[in-house]
Amino acid sequence: MLRFAGALLTVFLAAPLPEAMAQEGKPLPRSDERYKTDILVVVAHPDDEAAVTPYLVRALDEHRRIAVVFATRGSSGSNEAGAEQAAALGDVREMEARNALATLGVNNVWFLSGKDTATQDVLVSLGNWDHGETLEQMVRLVRLTRPEVILTFLPGAFIGEDHGDHQASGVLATEAFDLAGNPAVFPEQVAGPMKRLEPFLENLRPWQAKKIYYFPDADREDIFRGKGPSYSVKEVSRLSNKPYWRMALDAFRAHQTQAKSYLDKIAQMDEAQIEKMATSEDGWGEDQHFVLGKSLVGGSVSGDIFEGITPGAISYARPEATPEPPRPVLSAELGGPWSFYAEFRRAHGLANLPHPEPPEIALEGPGTLVIPLWVRNQTAKAQEVTLSTTLPAGWAAENGSRKFTVAAGQTAAARVEVSLPALPDKTEKKAVAQEVTVRAEANGQVIGEAKLRVELRKRALPE
């Protein structure tokens, strides 16, 4: 028997090697092409994709591969279509979002573990989302989908850009844009398995996306104009022979829990009536505007989203942080989401990202405006600081005028609470924005001023 085996081996060795066993070796498995995308859309809630679907239809016409990430499953808010609430509503909304996108032929759709948060404050949303965990998931999806371009909500606090979750999705997408190409970030994602069936190491590759664009939610069209490309949504799709806006509206029909009454109304209309209402009143016919966040491949600010993009990976680009501005040894400034965004723009090299000056917010009246302040005392002795607040007529601040001491070398957080009046009955939905100023003084000198433009609305809290 043994002799027979030896004879067989000899014969085998003498024969020429079959093709597959030739010297060049067996190729290692490559990244899965089914998930490679050109455009990765990052939004907060099911139905947020509608902010960009009219452009996505155009991109599909151009044979772009598209994937969408929702940071939450949209489990808060009311349900127009059934009894389901809370986590169960999230289950339903996940399906609605998948169905909406499937209508367009977009099937690569993921949901992060962020929780739907009814807040206007991006920091509250990020806190409730477990920021680190959702960022890790976001970086993983950038490495998996290898987008050329990321499209997301504009990270900023604006009148109109009211939902903290929308802002947070833009923050997360920007962070992932800057981190996914860095092999030192979440290295377990890019490490290869150490043994067969290793269950922990993911074998992804770092990926640097080439451009990031934002779509603003804000009312302040003036400060976004000319900051990125605009696209008409009235052109007719080669794929369906319908205008882009019409395909986007068709996709939106899946969102019954959020818009059943609106969709039922549309279902009763003929095509001419739909066109009239959707394009003149509901904004479906408006051009889509983008703001260029950054491009690592050149191209012009208002040129096409794919201008300058050629196939293939580019090297990781460490974001160019802008240095901290010098501060006097004794200073006071607006804190909260407003100071966060100033730090955020510096950290991510987004010096040109539009932001309102003075900072602004829309709030419900009656209600409360909280103005957070940082007071920094880098002098060698304790300092007495005096706050004074200037308000529009009819507004009141509980602790707007007061004195407190900040110890040597300390940074203190202070806050002023302003009671906002109800809007007069004859006001439609909102009043003209007014300015609130909190001034900080020490040793008879102004050490800082926090100014906010505040618009009163009948309804301002996001759902």
Q: Which residues bind Zn ion (CB under 5 A)?
A: 44-45, 48
Distance CA 57, CA 49 (A): 12
Output the smallest distance, CB 173 to Zn ion, in A: 14
What tokens appear for 366 in the block? 């009656």
- Residue whose CB is less far from Zn ion, 48 or 455: 48
What's the gap between Cα 401 and its chain centre? 37
- Residue whose CB is less far from Zn ion, 45 or 376: 45
Output the smallest distance, CB 48 to Zn ion, in A: 4
- Residue whose CB is less far from Zn ion, 185 or 218: 218
* Cβ proximity of 6 and 13 under 8 Å: no
CA distances from 170 to 65, 228, 442 (A): 21, 16, 38
What is the DSSP secondary-structure string of 85-110? -HHHHHHHHHHHHHHHHHHHT--EEE
- Residue whose CB is less far from Zn ion, 118 or 433: 118
Which residues, listed in sequence order, are joined to residue 367 by a DSSP beta bridge?
420
What's the gap between Cα 182 and its chain centre? 20
Output the smallest distance, CB 79 to Zn ion, in A: 15
- Strands (E) across 322-432 are located at 330-334, 360-364, 367-377, 383-390, 396-397, 402-406, 411-420
Output the smallest distance, CB 163 to Zn ion, in A: 6
Distance CA 376, CA 390 (A): 22
Query: Helices (H), strands (E): how many in the chain?
Result: 12, 17
Long-range contacts of 245-250 (CB under 8 A, 24+ apart): 245/54, 245/278, 245/279, 245/284, 245/285, 246/274, 246/275, 246/278, 246/284, 247/53, 247/54, 247/57, 247/104, 248/50, 248/53, 248/54, 248/56, 248/57, 248/284, 249/274, 249/278, 249/284, 250/103
Output the smallest distance, CB 259 to Zn ion, in A: 12
- Residue whose CB is less far from Zn ion, 364 or 449: 364
Output the smallest distance, CB 324 to Zn ion, in A: 33
- Residue whose CB is less far from Zn ion, 44 or 157: 44
- Residue whose CB is less far from Zn ion, 159 or 440: 159
Q: Is it true that the peptide bond before 358 is cis, omega within 30 degrees of 0?
A: yes
- Residue whose CB is less far from Zn ion, 44 or 362: 44
DSSP tag of 17: P
Output the smallest distance, CB 287 to Zn ion, in A: 21
Nearest CA to 116 out of 173, 175, 166 is that of 166
Distance CA 266, CA 61 (A): 26
- Residue whose CB is less far from Zn ion, 44 or 154: 44
Output the smallest distance, CB 51 to Zn ion, in A: 8
Distance CA 435, CA 415 (A): 17
Which residues, listed in sequence order, are joined to residue 110 by a DSSP beta bridge?
69
- Residue whose CB is less far from Zn ion, 93 or 348: 93
Output the smallest distance, CB 257 to Zn ion, in A: 13
Distance CA 115, CA 402 (A): 38
Q: Which residue is nearest to Zn ion (CB)?
A: 45
Output the smallest distance, CB 110 to Zn ion, in A: 17
Output the smallest distance, CB 166 to Zn ion, in A: 6
Phi, psi of 374 (to 5 degrees): -100, 130
Output the smallest distance, CB 75 to Zn ion, in A: 12
CA distances from 409 to 333, 334, 402 (A): 16, 19, 21
What tokens appear for 287 in the block? 């051009």
- Residue whose CB is less far from Zn ion, 44 or 249: 44
**Site of tokens 């005392």:** 377
- Residue whose CB is less far from Zn ion, 48 or 121: 48
